[in-house]
Structure 1
């Protein structure tokens, strides 16, 4: 027998209580996707409550079993049978709110939040923490609870704390002293839960099994269909055959759910996809007759045909509209669908022409492209797109209404001047999704109107000045530098910018070649972008900047900007992005002024000046490129006088006898971009291991780019891997990577691989991929893999990089001792991947 009741986080945590996660529960495993969804819910709740709305937003249930030892007094103990993931996440969020408010508002918030929600202050040590995670997560959680230097480590618990710390830093408006208070209020009072409490003596493990071994659930589309035909007692059969069945044949179950969500979003942009059935049911409940319900099914049928056109643009008859639908479909942002459905519906209702809706789609495409080139590809993009239909003007023609909406406020619809400023400096290659970066380059190439047919979708992005600079490239760029300039920082500031990027089908062949070699190859290309580069006699800073200016002008001419040049009035320097990236830096890591500057499209000097003048998260973790503390470093808090190296050591950073931080613990610009979410987590995946042409391409590129010793050693590792039962998969990029597959997609737990090998010379350990793959979603196994690999000569992977994709050079494999040790550890990995995991499908 169980008792269920609605509650809030405040009610759940206040008082002398302790929630213990049993040992049979899996370790904490929420990822950025769940963090972002929760944070979006919280921000919407803040907006709703500010507008006077009451009530709560339901986020799930927790199933509890009281301890048999509970008495009328003392700490009430509960086992968390179900719901530990959200309870742990919310507790970590409260830790982040506590630390932010204590630092930026008043120290009293630390004791207040601790005593109300996080600890039982006056109780014995074993009852001190209100939440006791499972053993593997306990140390990481206590570091956050106690705000020690180890808080925010590289494990999943630390990742949650760092994520919320970064979001709070970004959300804190200096001109609004109550904004974080409103967020705290929304968290503790606005998030609704159902607390389900078992009775003493109940078998909690049986309850746990029954919760996580249910059969196939009805989809929301199934529920809505059943509801609709329940409301059609006399017309049901005729309506089903004439309207519903054709709709069901045209759209899959997932597409039907998408249709019903799109319909709701056009009325209320806040509707979530988890609320499709309840939202449509509440709307339909207001209808009284069968005729009204039948009209709704007919309307769904009509909208379903329009959604089919959005999903399959080739069905569109108008060439202008078809072209824009194809491009927006290729961009891959489904939150633009409500607008597209609205536009096609407007045309069908004859309130807009094909030319007008094609024009509106061009403005949306321009909005996407311009945001990408200024480094704002993902900022609030979903909220902006979902609100267009409900918030744009009804007085203007539809295309001008879309443009006016996107131009108003802080939506980052970049003006012409912003584009010209950003293109030479922003790290284009680190922004947005890889396929979107490729698309913009493809569309730029198409704008040249070449008559020579080139399969643009088969090309990949090439860094003309390579990411790994050779002696020749050092000499070329070195001649452009002033006496006070550092080569590494100058290289980082240029290498990922749009001016240094092009498209090629010869990425691996070009690789790190000198410009003289690349120039010859590019001159033979049928791609106009490459012809411009080949026309240069050298490729240094001046040439890269000149090409960036030219591309900025072309972007401006192809993609129209906002309605007014004043639309984008924010600072060109992305200090908020810097704060977010620094807040995500794990304890035990550090970065440089140059890395931060490359990330935000600035220069190390203004970055240093900013950090010395304005408070920023983890500013003490930003060092000079050699790993030394800047002579100009000072704490934003004038009362602090300690040596930052002492704090860094306490956090786990190692220093040599010259007081230089360990370079293996450095987080470089590309990794900062991953941490800050500039490049969403599109993990590269393997193709089928039966695709022999890709296998041949990998071997060909490996032997072309590496010495015979390195190539043979690498191939020996692959042979040994397949000998122990593993298989090989291959990437489809210009540089053909090889994946060591321990399980294929057909496995009940899905595919998994420990590493990817790149012919250009990297053996990459894919911790980021492993963090969501059973059984390596357990951080203790990933940590064991890291420690095993660090036993190899020449390998030193920092603990702070356990959420990223670090690696080591293929040259390491030439040493037979290192190669044998690697194979031993790969064998261990393979065995772990094959071991049955009873609760592998359970996500609590």
Structure 2
């Protein structure tokens, strides 16, 4: 089938030959990493050949096939089946060598290298030795002709500029290399294996066998390759008129998305990783080039629609544009199949812009209402991916979307469910932080102010603060009933929607008394805060009253399900079960903590546990850490003392029978265990915050300085400087409260990223055991336990063993103690040593 022969660039390029890169090949895409590697190889080879002139260096293979148009005389034409990136790079390097020698030595080098290796000087139609794909052809031709456009801001131009600079720097190197040595090494010293197919062989099948793993090509690349293998005659025209504009309109990732969305219309179970194989299976059934071309035309049309989804500002209809912008801001791609279907229906004349906007509003309402009742993620992907194939075909599209979302247990919250949840569900603990912020921003927009306030810098503020002070405790105590506990009442209120607003004064407000917060909020034009500043105090009645007002605004802004929708107001007991099943031995929680998690009161939680099986129910205690008087095992034959069971699991009790509060798992940690909060991830690098002057690092320091005492803020800076001095790096979160990550390894490391702690300007030094549990080497619980024990040596730090699966923390005030800070740095240095194991081998770069 094929023949293989070792060769050099000289033997490949000399004589009347032309190498054509087929349409099914990807465009030139090597980067500086590959440029540097091949340049280093060339330089090393040039040095070696000074002492051993016959030395060579193998750089890979080149798979060729005779062109179907080849004749018995004239230029020998070949298709480059595999290896075009390498061959293109070497000829660009030759162009740079030619230009350098012509400028610095003698112009004759230009003619010599052109005629021998870069062009066929006596062939008008086939004058280029190498013919890249259409997308690269202009840039490559500029390189060969050495026109003023050479070295542009494209991959070919970047390669030329890299090699031109490298050649300029040759004379200043520690071991100078003559340029003629470089030229000789490139032309006669680099060895390749040329694998040549025979006439009549299926060239694309050879190519596919070399690239079918998807490691070197994207699935969109493979699909393009397959399509143009099926277009031997119409390929150039279809590529130029349809495919190239499509390819220029999208990133490689977006192209894969387009072809996957096309499949999902018919089969919602298709995985994105199966895009190429599924599309190929479908296209195999086409018989003629006209059929294949029609499919490319259809892809082009769908691409124009996807472009509107990805860039909503390009949509002409204002109603559809607003809905697309909001769904884009929500940040879920699972809505794309439906959005693409709706726009396709509109283009086909079976839906109007008004119906499309209405349908998208129902989807937005579905998202918002689910978030409010604490069901933001449950089965969301399956529901949205199935809607196109399962919704009614006989109803108008907006009615069909609403009807589909309203049937079954899809948790499209009814008005009654919204009214109940807004009072009780901890809104701030559900969904993703940007989505919570969006809901509040959209609520603010619903007021329709004639002079709307810019919300770019506004962040979510807990009016009743996340850290209680004595003044706040005194205010809340006035609302307590006879048998109520203040801490349980506080947990049931603090994260609910009624207690949240937007403000640009988040840093200044903190846990200040209500009177001071009210004065600050009065200065704001944000309408969401007006009900708050009108109150003389801020306790349970006021929070509930505001919750009720916001519930009505939610109901009026986002239409609910049809009348046939089931009752969605029930308590999410499955969420409680999930949290309890993850509750570790040696810990306990309270009825109030669980009640706050699922949006109900402690008594219903107790009743539920007393009558329904639940894992680890014996770990649920009263707020004081005592066994509830009415506690009974559900197993009728079981009579052992739950306190003794807890002791055996590691819970300690004082002489009054009260469990250690340090081992208590609160509402926020229960949310972590239940998996309803997403862990914030650090930025890859210091980059400018959009719409602000300065970096995330500067914003973090601003927030720490504003919210902590001078002693604590100074100690924090000292710690960060010490961390970087010992070899760690810093990265920052993108939330409203800009967190700082102490990075021991970044993503680029062969073992992946890892960080031991996150510092929050609000005052928490968070130890991320949950993150460490899946990172080498701290996935070993022995190392995590050693880290816990080390930290517990610090004054004021007592992290329970049961928190090894969570993200516990201690106050930043600990850093203000010089001895404690120095001890902490010793522990962090130990962590860094563990996280960066020494290795004698350099990482392999593919």
TM-score, structure 2 as length reference: 0.71
- In the alignment, the residues of structure 1 paired with residue 839 and residue 343 of structure 2 have an alpha-carbon distance, to the nearest angstrom, of 49
Gaps of 5+ in 1: 1-213
Q: CA 1:774–1:312 in structure 2 vs 1: closer, same or farther (change >3 Å)?
A: farther
Structure 1 residue 789, shift from structure 2 partner: 1.2
Pairwise CA distance, 1:535: 1.0
Judge conservation of contact 2:682–2:734 (CA < 8 Å) in 1.
no
Cα 1:841–1:578 shift into 2, 3 Å: farther
Contact between 1:687 and 1:732, CA under 8 Å: does it hold in 2?
no
- Residue 631 of structure 2: aligned partner: 633
Offset, 1:276: 1.5
CA contact (8 A) 2:682 2:731 kept: no
Aligned match of 2:368 = 369
Residue 790 in 1 paired to residue 792 in 2? yes
User: Which residue pairs with 2:662 in the alignment?
Assistant: 664
**1:268, distance to aligned residue in structure 2 (A):** 1.3
- 1:384 corresponds to which residue? 383
Within the alignment, does 1:673 sit opposite 2:675 as a pair? no
- Decide which moves more: 526-535 or 424-433: 526-535
Q: Report the alpha carbon displacement of residue 237 of structure 1 after superposing the two structures with TM.
A: 2.7
CA 1:626–1:441: 2 relative to 1, 3 Å: same
Superposed, 1:388-467 pairs within 5 Å as: 388-467=387-466
Corresponding residue SS for 2:244: helix
| Further displaced range: 784-793 or 574-583 | 784-793
Q: Which residue of 2 aligns with 1:301?
A: 300
5 Å matches for 1:236-635? 236-564=235-563, 566-635=564-633
Paired residues for 1:189-268 under 5 Å: 216-268=215-267
Structure 2, unaligned runs of 5 or more = 1-212
Partner residue, 2:815: 813
Q: Distance in 1 between matches of 2:697 and 2:785?
A: 31
Map of 1:666-705 to 2, 5 A cutoff? 666-683=664-681, 685=683, 688=686, 694-705=696-707
Are the equivalent residues in 1 in contact too, given 2:681–2:733 (CA < 8 A)?
Answer: no
Higher RCO (C-alpha under 8 Å, 6+ residues apart): 1
* Cα offset, 1:510, TM superposition: 0.4
Task: Kindly indicate whether the alpha-carbon contact (under 8 Å) linking 1:689 and 1:730 is maintained by their aligned counterparts in 2.
Answer: no
| 2:794 and 2:823 in contact (8 A); partners too | yes
Partners of 2:214 and 2:351 in 1: CA distance: 47
Show CA shifts across 1:733-789 (max 9, x none).
Answer: 443433323345665655543222223221111233334545444544333322221
Give the deviation of 1:713 after TM superposition: 3.0
**In 1: Cα distance, 2:519 partner to 2:239 partner:** 65
1:615–1:284 distance in 2 versus 1, CA, 3 Å: same
Q: Secondary structure at the match of 1:822?
A: helix
> Are the equivalent residues in 2 in contact too, given 1:628–1:660 (CA < 8 A)?
yes
Question: Are 2:746 and 2:754, in contact at CA under 8 Å, matched by a contact in 1?
Answer: yes
> 2:456 aligns to what SS in structure 1?
helix
SS in 2 for 1:642: coil
Q: For residues 476 and 557 of structure 1, do their structure 2 counterparts lie closer, same or farther at Cα, with a shift above 3 Å needed?
A: same
CA distance 1:841–1:309, change in 2 (3 Å): farther
Contact 2:461-2:503 at 8 Å conserved across structures: yes
* CA-CA distance at 1:622 after TM superposition: 1.1
Q: Distance in 2 between matches of 1:664 and 1:558?
A: 43
Task: Name the structure 1 match of 2:162.
Answer: none
**Distance in 1 between the 2:415 and 2:358 partners?**
19
Q: Which residue does 2:641 correspond to in 1?
A: 643
CA distance in 2, matches of 1:344, 1:690: 35
Distance 1:354 1:532, change over 3 A: same
- Number of matched pairs: 628
| Contact 1:717/1:823 (8 A) holds in 2 | yes
User: Per the alignment, do residues 840 and 524 of structure 1 end up closer, same or farther by CA in structure 2, a change over 3 Å counting?
Assistant: farther
Q: Are the counterparts in 1 of residues 682 and 732 from structure 2 also a CA contact under 8 Å?
A: no
RMSD of equivalent CA atoms: 2.4
Contact 2:687 2:695 survives alignment (8 Å): no
Whether the aligned pair in 2 keeps the contact of 1:262 and 1:337 (CA below 8 Å) is yes
Q: Which moved more, 1:479-488 or 1:739-748?
A: 739-748
Counterpart Cα distance in 2 of 1:548 and 1:324: 26
CA apart distance, 1:666: 1.9
Counterpart-to-counterpart distance in 2, 1:592 and 1:836: 46
1:525-550 deviation digits (Å, cap 9, x = unpaired): 12111122111111010000000000
Deviation at 1:682, TM superposition (A): 4.0
State whether residues 412 and 568 of structure 2, in contact with CA within 8 Å, keep that contact through their aligned partners in structure 1. Answer: no
8 A Cα contact 2:413 2:569, kept in partner: no
- Looking at structure 2, the residues matched to 690 and 299 of structure 1 have their Cα atoms a distance apart, in angstroms, of 40
TM-score normalized with structure 1 length: 0.71
Cα gap change, 1:466/1:398 in structure 2, threshold over 3 Å: closer, same or farther?
A: same
CA change 1:273–1:701 in 2 (3 A) is: closer
SS in structure 2 opposite 1:307? Answer: helix
1:189-235 CA-to-partner distances (Å, cap 9, x unmatched) read: xxxxxxxxxxxxxxxxxxxxxxxxx9943322222222222322332
2: CA distance, partners of 1:548 / 1:838? 61
Q: Residue 764 of structure 1: SS of its match in structure 2?
A: strand
Q: CA offsets per residue over residues 92-137 of structure 1, 9 Å max, x none?
A: xxxxxxxxxxxxxxxxxxxxxxxxxxxxxxxxxxxxxxxxxxxxxx
Is the Cα contact below 8 Å between 1:599 and 1:669 reproduced in 2? yes
Alpha-carbon contact 2:312-2:325 (below 8 Å) kept: yes
Tell me if structure 2 keeps the 8 A contact 1:686–1:739: no
The Cα of 1:648 is off from its aligned counterpart by: 2.4
Q: Classify 1:837/1:464 alpha carbon distance in 2 versus 1 (closer, same or farther; 3 Å).
A: farther
1:654 aligns with 2:652: yes
1:799 corresponds in structure 2 to 801
Change (3 A) 1:804 1:396: same
